[in-house]
Chain A
Amino acid sequence: MLDEYMISMGFNDKEIFLIKKAYPINKYAESTILYNLKNISNYLLKNSLTNNDIINITLTSPNIIFLSIENIKEKVVALTKLNFNKIEIFTMIKNYPYVIELPIEKIIDKIDFLESIGFNAKEVLINKTNILSVDNYNIQKRFNYFIDKGYKKIDIIKIIENSPELIDCNLNTINKKIDFFKDLGFTDKDIIKITSSLKELLLDSIDDIKNKIDYLIDYGYHDKDIINIIRKIPCILENNHLNNLSKLLTYLEDTGFTKNEIINITCNNPFILLYSIDYLNWKIDNLLKFTSLDKIIKMIKDFPTILGYSIKSINEKLEFYNKIQFRNKIIDNSYLLRYNLEYIKNRYKIITDNKIDNKYYKDLFEDNIVIEDVDKYLFCSDNVFYEKYNITKEELLR
């Protein structure tokens, strides 16, 4: 009967064997075990756990079969009183089934300890419930390790909350990882920043990271380029981005950029390395409404951030410059697109309103004439502009 029920739940023969082996099942009547298992399963299923979760729970903690359902419900009530909601409680049971067997005092003690060193104890317990099995001394030791390395308390908390596995990881492995980054040329500050911003980087194998860096070196990036790229977008070291990278670089080559040009533009704006091909295609297609591909390539080479701005922002700028007959100037000097449009429009208005000074002033849009002063002062430095038009910054920004 017990075997049949377990098979109906999805246990395989090996798992049934393991559970029976783990417990002196001969001491208990099969009917008692069956009764308990049915009760517990029904209770857990009602609380959003699946048959698979139950199989994992009983394999990890076969003891659960011998707990009464009242015991389990009492533990759930006690955890509710510690401000965990039901979803969180059953997530913790799924993550670390022993939580049901632990005395509630032990859980309170861990919460107090975690909070005393600044953690959001609730979040850590939900994400890394097995921290309950790590003694406080070891947690403190890892915390102190990061403090000694120059990490701020807030960064350590962020790192551990992002990668709770670090709480019981081997410190030698972390040391090797940090030394590896130092050998590459990263400063202590860089290492703190990239490891704080990237989930699980400290847990990845060094070989994994090496392979990713080697890929960039093989493509032609210099060490200092790679450091600069990783410093700006540490997530390039994540697998999902790296898988996209080779396709993206090929796409850029197919579009008409040389390898060196690709290296230059992506060093200037590494975010491009994170774009999907569809996204890049979309942006380039949009620019094609304004000019030819060879000119777009030139614009991107001169100002790679053009690919970062939203299409709406780029379109508004290009339309404005088109309207004031600056189209060719912008195509030849695409970096001018970096200026905020409202700011430039204000300048433009002030220049064109100042008719006395404009030697060639005519109706711009009718006669197609670019005012000399617009050309000279639209993008000049603030101080030159304020002096020329005798206005204050506040007036310009109004």
Chain B
Amino acid sequence: MDVLIRYGFSIEEIKNMMDTNPDISNVDDNKIYSLIDKLGLIGCMNNYIKNIFICNPFYLNRSLEDIDNLFNKLKEIGITNINILLDSNPYILNLNSEEIEDIYNNLLKEGLTKEEIIDKFNYNSFSIM
């Protein structure tokens, strides 16, 4: 938990995150650091990271491997600005790579082009989840 305080979250914000996801108290500080790093590496700025954590405290339950796979899948389907996507829709982080693939394939089947799917992810990802 110390890491969240050091990262600049207020006690109130941490309390709210823990109310939503009580499992946070069991997450190791090193893992929290690594999860922050993962977001930093894709270009999330400090304020995006805070927004993501507050909006979706369940990100802290994800394994580092799952997150790597998820980011790789998003890149693979053509999302280049994952940081912006996650700031808009932090809930994407609860999906796994297979689910992203399913969403992508279903949209293809509906007749959307690759560009249209990417646009949907970038600007209307809530409608496809």
Contact = CB atoms under 8 A, between A and B. Distances in A.
A343 B83 CA distance: 11
A251 B81 CA distance: 38
Nearest to B83: A340
B2 interface: no
Given A338-B89, A397-B81, A274 B20 contact: yes
Contacts of B51: 309-310, 312-313
Interface in A197-241: 197, 199, 232-233, 235, 240
A111 to B, nearest CB: 22
B126 A235 contact: no
Contact of B55 (A233, A268, A310): A310
Interface stretch (A29-37, A275-283, A352-360): A275-283
A276 B12 CA distance: 12
Interface in A302-325: 305, 308-310, 312-313, 316
Contacts, number: 82
Interface stretch (B30-38, B104-112, B115-123): B115-123
Report which residue of A233, A240, A313, A397 has the largest number of chain B beta carbons within 10 angstroms of its beta carbon: A313
A383 B89 contact: no
Most buried by B among A240, A340, A342: A340
Specify the main secondary structure of chain B where it touches its partner. helix
B93 interface: no
Contact of A313 (B47, B94, B98): B47
A383 B122 CA distance: 12
Interface residues of B, number: 37
Contact of B123 (A240, A309, A313, A381): A381
B47 to A, nearest CB: 7
A339 B88 contact: yes
A276 B16 contact: yes
Contacts of B58: 233, 235
Given A274-B20, A338-B88, A382 B122 contact: yes
B56 A271 contact: yes
A393 interface: yes
A271 B20 contact: yes
Contacts of A316: 47
Given A235-B21, A338-B88, A381-B123, A279 B55 contact: no
A313 to B, nearest CB: 4
B122 A268 contact: no
Interface string B51-81: 1001110100101010000000000000011
Please give me the 3 A-B residue pairs with the lowest Cβ-Cβ distance, nearest first.
Answer: A310-B54, A308-B55, A313-B51
Interface of B: 12-13, 16, 19-23, 45, 47-48, 50-51, 54-56, 58, 61, 63, 65, 80-81, 84, 87-91, 94, 96, 98, 115, 119, 122-123, 126, 129
16 contacts: A154-B65, A235-B21, A271-B20, A274-B19, A275-B16, A276-B19, A308-B56, A312-B51, A313-B50, A313-B51, A338-B126, A339-B123, A342-B45, A343-B84, A381-B123, A382-B122
